[in-house]
Structure 1
Amino acid sequence: FGKSTLVAGWLSERGQPAAWLSLDQGDNDPVRFWTYLIAAIQAIHQEIGVEARQIISTPQLRSNELVAINLINEISQLPHALIVVLDDYHLIEAEQVHAGLSYLLEHQPPNLHIILSTRVDPSISLARLRAHSQLIEIRAEDLQFSIEETAILLNEKLDLNLRFEQIEALNSHTESWVVGLQLAALSLKGQSSYDTFIEEFTGGHQFVLDYLIEEVLVRLPDAQRGFMLRTSILERFCDKLCQVVTGDPASGQMLDEIRKSNLFLIPLDTHGRWFRYHHLFAEVLYALLEQDHPGEIEILHLKAAAWFEREGHPGEAVDHALHSGNMLQARGMFLKHWMSFLHRGEVATVLRWLEALPDEMKAEDPSLALAHCWALFLSWQNSEISLHLERADNAYNRLVDEGSLSSVQQGQIAAQLAMMRSVLARDQGDHASSVAHVEEATRLMPQDMVEGVGTVWNMLAAARAGAGDFEGAIQAYERGIALSQAEGNLIGAYGCTYGQVMYMLVQGRLNEADGLCLSSIDRAAREGHGDFPATGWLHIAMARVKLEQGHLDGAEVHLRDGLRIARPGGFSEAVRSGRYLSAHLAAAHGDLNAAMDIFHDTTRIVNAMDEPYLIGELNGQWIPVCLKAGELDAAREKLHTLKEKSLATQHANLLLWWRSLFPRLLCAEERYEEALTALDESIRHARAAHSNGELIRLLALRALILDALGDRMLARSAIREALALGAAEGYIWRWLDAGPGIEPLLRDQKNDHDTPQAFRPYLNSLLDACHSAFWESSQPQPGMLPDALTSRELEIIHLIGKGYSNPEIASELVVTLNTIKKHTSNIYGKLGVRSRTQAIARARELNLL
């Protein structure tokens, strides 16, 4: 019905550029769909979609909601309207693409207008859009030609000089369908009698289409007809590709003749290089090719596959190899290119190719079965891995028995089998077996496999960390760095560096972590890799080090550089870690609302990935900010989720967060005895793992709890042990997790004549950090209500306002004097004051009294 022509003409009349995306079957891969859509938008607005492209490269992302959110936010900032055209949307069948587009439509900003050109109603909620007057529909009946329009087309435009009754008959027979009318006009030009021709065909669109196209094609010269039939295998084509497929050196001239003859040739670019046939026309051409030349189809596809591969279009090459029906050729081309598509995040494309290969072939080839395992692993479909792992294992054992594998092949396949077994063991919470399998893989993997070596040592480190062997993880990361650097594998080297730094911080090796980051960043700069995307890992790691040292400005500089560098590379874990770090930096500056916003945004990413560990990680990162904000209900809810995911995965990282955060919540709820019991168990685990960095945080909290319970001697002992662990390394940030109540304990320690002189510079740094964190950054804006005050703190500020002393308040509320001192210190920090007089004045200013 001329859908595309209508839209193109309307846009031309408006004189307004549009982001135009012509869709095909390959665009059912969500990554490819969003990549091409963003590219179409960037042809008009280069600044739109930079971060969205990074997001879609995340292979674990099952939902594209976040991509839509990112585009919505950026498009809404444009000063004028943006028109997006999705042409031939009926070719899209993937539910993920429909869901992503539905979200975009449901939340589209007022300046975004989306035009769908489709033969059938799309799988989106049209009823809801109609109900909200957000939909304009142009249906087939709207596109049908009137008698007057048909007369203009046939007589004025195509110069047929038909009588009115002939025009009326053609209009009736074609049901006013413009494609049918155009085909009829082409057919009429070769007829001796218009009346006879018009009377010979009736019926629906498909009959008209088949009849008229055959009528058109039968009158073409043999060379032109053969050219069109053979090029109908191509979704898109240019003259050089047509030369290879058809063997016709005059393909460029042939294309020009077809274009001039109005034979439904559609240009795909403004340079007149790439074309495609109208989809309806192409379908009939291909049907005739199957009918007239069935024996040529395989070789035509294989020629196209070879050309696309030579020209750097491996996706189309694999597609044509599969369409050829020659599965041996298709298998070879798939094995050459599948890994690069996984690296780009096009997991759905790889899975589609695998589904097209015969089951018996996949069952006999361990490389194909392992490719299926990796694609499922990267799309978080681990529950589906077992079947394909069994196939790979059986095929491998058979080939070994036959002696068909070289020693290198044997080692590579066996190592991958062990890595996949490690993944399944980890998912079942069996971290000991997970470690054992990856350790086996390190022995089996050929050392000249560049990416394989980096991957296996990275997996070993992660497996050891999951089992709670943090020192072993550090050693594995160190080995991975050395091997990856020796082979020039920067992604492996820098990814392992990030992991090593994170566990060094847990283990109390802050100075080593600082030195490693600094030397790695310097080396990257010297070797010209400063802006290589993987280098972003190094800057984000350094940002975390700077935060631990209390250097917030330095942390922000490295974080900003790290995210800028890492985003184009699609390193989702780096970007996610950067988001968490951004939230903690915002909280450190007292901007709790900004921190909460970051966590809310990150929730969309994590929920879309639907992975228990990542959900636990999110909650573990979020709870400290909830506690700092005094949002105890939210903290309880998130702690419940963290506990649930910790028990489900048995992952040491989640258990570490749980053991640290559960006592903190109990402390915030003034359940000090319970908090101390839980905390002592956590300290026992930290000592057993030699996690001195974590121990600093736990001991600071223990001192706070003991002080609240009135045991000042044990509180001082805990403080001193934490000082001894942190002084040489310079840990700052971990102390602040205890809250404002830690400051008077540190000040008492400073004033104690028995405190070793070596601790005093460190104590001064800690007290300066406390002042910045609990006084300067918490200073409320004038007239702003401090929502962070808990109900108990509000009770206490009311009693302070009535002139009660601390002992009187303790008696009134039936709590210890130390508890009141702790609450009072928290109140001072939140109100940004230093004394009772200032607290009363500030509370009155805020209408609390």
Structure 2
Amino acid sequence: MCDAVTGQKDGKKMLETLERSNLFVVSLDDNRQWYRYHHLFAGVLLSRLMAEKAERILTLHLRASKWYEQNGLMADAIRHALTAEDFEWAADLIELVWPETNRYIQSAPWLGWVKASPDELVSVRPVLNINYACALMDIGEMETGEARLLQVEELLETTEKISETPEASNRMVIVDKEQFRLLPATIASSRAYLAGTLGDVAGTIKYTRQHIDLLPEDDHYGREGASAMLGIAYFAKGDLEAAYQTFMDSFEGMKKAGDIDDVGGTFLLADIRITQGRLVEAASLYEQSLKLIPEQGPVPSGTAYLYLGLSKLYREQGNPIAARAYLLKSEEANKKSPYQLWQYRFILAQAQIEEDQENFDSALDLLNKAEALYYRNIVPEIRPLAALKVQIWIKQGKLNKALNWIHVSSLTFDDDLSYPQEYEHLTLARVLIAQFKSEQTEPYILNALELLERLLKAAEVGKRGGSVIEILILQALAYEAKENIPLALVPLERALNLAEPEGYVRIFVDEGVPMAQLLSVAIANKIMPEYIDKLLAVFEAEKQQQST
């Protein structure tokens, strides 16, 4: 590179001489290929260059950029091209590196490069601009991303209309011919992603199928990735089994093509099984993947999410020590690739543990911290952060805050039901029960019971076992609030029967004193004594821990 930048041929010899003479040059590798100046000396040289030959600086940066590009060091090539203010050359390089950037989810630095480029260059490059749209949507900037998408669609439409005229060829700049050939498929994929983030399930499915139809038969990575988006659409509909099978087929296809490891995707599959109330199967999925993580060296992608999922599973099954251990493992695994959405979910898990210990203010502080990290993405947020806060407010007795949430969210007990809003409606039922206990006004509890009955039917149809158990527990608590203990024991017994084989603990313990009292009555009525003994032991242990 020294020779390329200086235009001379003695760079290697000069560097070796400088190193032997200990003149501020340090070798960075055993092969003596890379060197660096002492940072203070480098600063002196740069100052001298700027003072004596400032007009040459841009030329030198451009030479460095060309050398880096020829040697496959594209990030450095782009950085120097931008510094050289050769924006057309930089735009060429930025366009060419997108496929690799997108494949390994490294869009943050790429976005920095394209944002540093003049917009008049970007807007006439349909490939670069559509990739810009995708990168923006990846970080939740949906409106800005859609505006870019519209620019590309309009450019293609306009160019097609005037394609018979000589000036048509001057309207677009295309560097990556292969990406341009796939542009219709990329537009369909972008439309599917946009629809998914907006909760438009039908649109997601429509555009994803268009995407698949437009891809070449041998593009296994693209086709399987598109199938995964279909899985997300099924998940948003609440058709969890279809989502699971679609994800499974997609991941198997990617693995055969060598595009994903055996760890990647496990957390999604396990999360679906947990939502279905199948904790044992989720644990099995996690255990299989754990065997594939090396004790030393780099870990597979998705490992941080895998550990995070295990932490949540162990927490639910009443093993707080393992839950904390895997939370720490997740944090360690994510240090080298700090995904913002992982950070969001990690903080939610921390908040949950604080809530378990009745550190409600700390839990709320963490939820506020998580809120600053969240951005819209293709995966539906089934447990919205606002609803998580409301459930803590109920435990704190801050009913006014919870009622204000109902007002702002415009939820009602007779709403049409959908899976993405299921958790919010469950939270609404909790608020109605708390309101009844506070005011003893009959309509509140009747509305809660009516809402819970409809939610139960929807969850049963969708085979969402985890939701079924939670709804049955809330029905029991609603009847307990009415002091109708015989009726409360009916849904409680059913919930216990469903929960015991899967090892549920926290789903009962989180309900506090009213649940502990109901369980005591249940055990007196010889309802599942061994399982209830285990649950009551956890209640007692937490009571003693809090008293100390």
What interval of TM-score do these two structures reach, taking the shorter chain for normalisation? 0.7 to 0.9
Q: Cα offset for 1:659? A: 1.4
Q: Per-residue displacement from partner, 1:190-210 (whole Å, max 9, x unpaired)?
A: xxxxxxxxxxxxxxxxxxxxx
Report the Cα distance in structure 2 between the residues aligned to 1:506 and 1:459, rounded to whole angstroms.
19
Q: Cα offset for 1:516? A: 0.5
Give 3-state SS (helix, strand or coil) of 2:329's partner: helix
The one-letter code matched in structure 2 to 1:678 is L
The one-letter code matched in structure 2 to 1:340 is T
Task: State whether structure 2 residue 140 is matched by structure 1 residue 380.
Answer: yes
Report the Cα distance in structure 2 between the residues aligned to 1:305 and 1:545, rounded to whole angstroms.
49
Q: Cα offset for 1:517? A: 0.8
Q: Cα offset for 1:412? A: 4.7
Give 3-state SS (helix, strand or coil) of 1:568's partner: coil
Q: Cα offset for 1:408? A: 7.9
Give 3-state SS (helix, strand or coil) of 2:292's partner: helix
Task: State whether structure 2 residue 502 is matched by structure 1 residue 729.
Answer: yes
Task: State whether structure 2 residue 219 is matched by structure 1 residue 431.
Answer: no
Instruction: Give the corresponding residue for 1:590.
Output: 358
Task: State whether structure 2 residue 311 is matched by structure 1 residue 551.
Answer: no
Task: State whether structure 2 residue 108 is matched by structure 1 residue 345.
Answer: yes
Q: Per-residue displacement from partner, 1:667-707 (whole Å, max 9, x unpaired)?
A: 12224223222322322322232211111011011012113
Task: State whether structure 2 residue 381 is matched by structure 1 residue 625.
Answer: no
When the two chains are superposed, the root-mean-square deviation of aligned CA atoms in Å is: 4.1
Instruction: Give the corresponding residue for 1:690.
Output: 463
User: Is the 2:426–2:452 contact (alpha carbons within 8 Å) kept by the matching residues of 1?
Assistant: yes
Instruction: Give the corresponding residue for 2:414.
Output: none
Q: Cα offset for 1:382? A: 1.3
Report the Cα distance in structure 2 between the residues aligned to 1:651 and 1:314, rounded to whole angstroms.
46
Q: Per-residue displacement from partner, 1:546-600 (whole Å, max 9, x unpaired)?
A: 1221222221111111121123212222232121112212222333343233223
Instruction: Give the corresponding residue for 1:501.
Output: 270
Task: State whether structure 2 residue 425 is matched by structure 1 residue 659.
Answer: yes
Q: Per-residue displacement from partner, 1:425-472 (whole Å, max 9, x unpaired)?
A: 234442221133224434554576576456434433333322333222
Report the Cα distance in structure 2 between the residues aligned to 1:661 and 1:523, rounded to whole angstroms.
39
Instruction: Give the corresponding residue for 1:420.
Output: 190
Q: Cα offset for 1:661? A: 0.8
Q: Cα offset for 1:476? A: 2.7
The one-letter code matched in structure 1 to 2:283 is D
Task: State whether structure 2 residue 235 is matched by structure 1 residue 465.
Answer: yes
- Are the structure 2 counterparts of residues 489 and 767 from structure 1 closer, same or farther at C-alpha, using a change threshold of 3 Å? farther
User: Is the 2:137–2:194 contact (alpha carbons within 8 Å) kept by the matching residues of 1?
Assistant: no
Instruction: Give the corresponding residue for 1:831.
Output: none
Task: State whether structure 2 residue 509 is matched by structure 1 residue 739.
Answer: no
Report the Cα distance in structure 2 between the residues aligned to 1:278 and 1:610, rounded to whole angstroms.
45
Instruction: Give the corresponding residue for 1:159.
Output: none
- Are the structure 2 counterparts of residues 602 and 428 from structure 1 closer, same or farther at C-alpha, using a change threshold of 3 Å? closer
The one-letter code matched in structure 2 to 1:698 is I
Instruction: Give the corresponding residue for 1:540.
Output: 308
Instruction: Give the corresponding residue for 2:32.
Output: none
Report the Cα distance in structure 2 between the residues aligned to 1:716 and 1:394, rounded to whole angstroms.
62
Report the Cα distance in structure 1 between the residues aligned to 2:132 and 2:181, rounded to whole angstroms.
19
Q: Cα offset for 1:664? A: 0.9
- Are the structure 2 counterparts of residues 274 and 324 from structure 1 closer, same or farther at C-alpha, using a change threshold of 3 Å? closer
- Are the structure 2 counterparts of residues 672 and 442 from structure 1 closer, same or farther at C-alpha, using a change threshold of 3 Å? same
Give 3-state SS (helix, strand or coil) of 2:118's partner: helix
User: Is the 1:701–1:738 contact (alpha carbons within 8 Å) kept by the matching residues of 2?
Assistant: no
- Are the structure 2 counterparts of residues 381 and 603 from structure 1 closer, same or farther at C-alpha, using a change threshold of 3 Å? closer
Report the Cα distance in structure 2 between the residues aligned to 1:545 and 1:471, rounded to whole angstroms.
20
Q: Per-residue displacement from partner, 1:576-631 (whole Å, max 9, x unpaired)?
A: 2121112212222333343233223323334xx58897797222333333333333
- Are the structure 2 counterparts of residues 270 and 318 from structure 1 closer, same or farther at C-alpha, using a change threshold of 3 Å? closer
The one-letter code matched in structure 1 to 2:427 is L
Q: Cα offset for 1:417? A: 1.9
The one-letter code matched in structure 2 to 1:723 is L
Instruction: Give the corresponding residue for 1:478.
Output: 248
Q: Per-residue displacement from partner, 1:514-537 (whole Å, max 9, x unpaired)?
A: 1101111112248x7774453111
Larger Rg: 1
Q: Cα offset for 1:396? A: 6.9
User: Is the 2:87–2:118 contact (alpha carbons within 8 Å) kept by the matching residues of 1?
Assistant: no
User: Is the 2:91–2:121 contact (alpha carbons within 8 Å) kept by the matching residues of 1?
Assistant: no
Instruction: Give the corresponding residue for 2:371.
Output: 603
Q: Cα offset for 1:485? A: 3.0
User: Is the 1:533–1:569 contact (alpha carbons within 8 Å) kept by the matching residues of 2?
Assistant: no
Q: Per-residue displacement from partner, 1:759-797 (whole Å, max 9, x unpaired)?
A: 443333233233334x234x345xxxxxxxxxxxxxxxx
Give 3-state SS (helix, strand or coil) of 1:574's partner: helix
Instruction: Give the corresponding residue for 2:441.
Output: none
User: Structure 1 length as normaliser, TM-score?
Assistant: 0.52
Q: Per-residue displacement from partner, 1:57-104 (whole Å, max 9, x unpaired)?
A: xxxxxxxxxxxxxxxxxxxxxxxxxxxxxxxxxxxxxxxxxxxxxxxx
Give 3-state SS (helix, strand or coil) of 1:575's partner: helix
Query: Identity of paired residues, percent?
Result: 20
The one-letter code matched in structure 2 to 1:591 is N
- Are the structure 2 counterparts of residues 715 and 428 from structure 1 closer, same or farther at C-alpha, using a change threshold of 3 Å? same
Report the Cα distance in structure 2 between the residues aligned to 1:614 and 1:641, rounded to whole angstroms.
18
Report the Cα distance in structure 1 between the residues aligned to 2:212 and 2:508, rounded to whole angstroms.
39
Ranges in structure 1 where 5+ consecutive residues have no aligned partner: 1-239, 261-266, 291-296, 645-649, 782-849
Q: Cα offset for 1:541? A: 0.9
Give 3-state SS (helix, strand or coil) of 2:265's partner: helix
Instruction: Give the corresponding residue for 1:278.
Output: 47
The one-letter code matched in structure 1 to 2:188 is A
User: Is the 2:316–2:506 contact (alpha carbons within 8 Å) kept by the matching residues of 1?
Assistant: yes
Ranges in structure 2 where 5+ consecutive residues have no aligned partner: 24-35, 165-173, 412-416, 438-443
- Are the structure 2 counterparts of residues 276 and 312 from structure 1 closer, same or farther at C-alpha, using a change threshold of 3 Å? farther
Q: Per-residue displacement from partner, 1:786-819 (whole Å, max 9, x unpaired)?
A: xxxxxxxxxxxxxxxxxxxxxxxxxxxxxxxxxx
The one-letter code matched in structure 1 to 2:503 is G
- Are the structure 2 counterparts of residues 347 and 382 from structure 1 closer, same or farther at C-alpha, using a change threshold of 3 Å? farther
The 5 Å alignment of 1:383-462 reads 383-393=143-153, 412-442=182-212, 444-445=214-215, 452=222, 455-462=225-232
User: Is the 1:354–1:372 contact (alpha carbons within 8 Å) kept by the matching residues of 2?
Assistant: no
User: Is the 1:429–1:651 contact (alpha carbons within 8 Å) kept by the matching residues of 2?
Assistant: no
Q: Cα offset for 1:658? A: 0.6
Deviation >6 Å, runs of 4+? 251-254, 323-328, 394-399, 404-408, 610-616
- Are the structure 2 counterparts of residues 284 and 371 from structure 1 closer, same or farther at C-alpha, using a change threshold of 3 Å? farther
The 5 Å alignment of 1:125-524 reads 240-241=1-2, 243-249=3-9, 269-270=38-39, 272=41, 277-278=46-47, 282=50, 285-287=53-55, 302-309=62-69, 313-321=73-81, 329-338=89-98, 339-340=100-101, 343=106, 345-355=108-118, 358=121, 361-362=124-125, 365=126, 367-393=127-153, 412-442=182-212, 444-445=214-215, 452=222, 455-490=225-260, 494-524=263-293
Report the Cα distance in structure 1 between the residues aligned to 2:352 and 2:398, rounded to whole angstroms.
16
User: Structure 2 length as normaliser, TM-score?
Assistant: 0.78
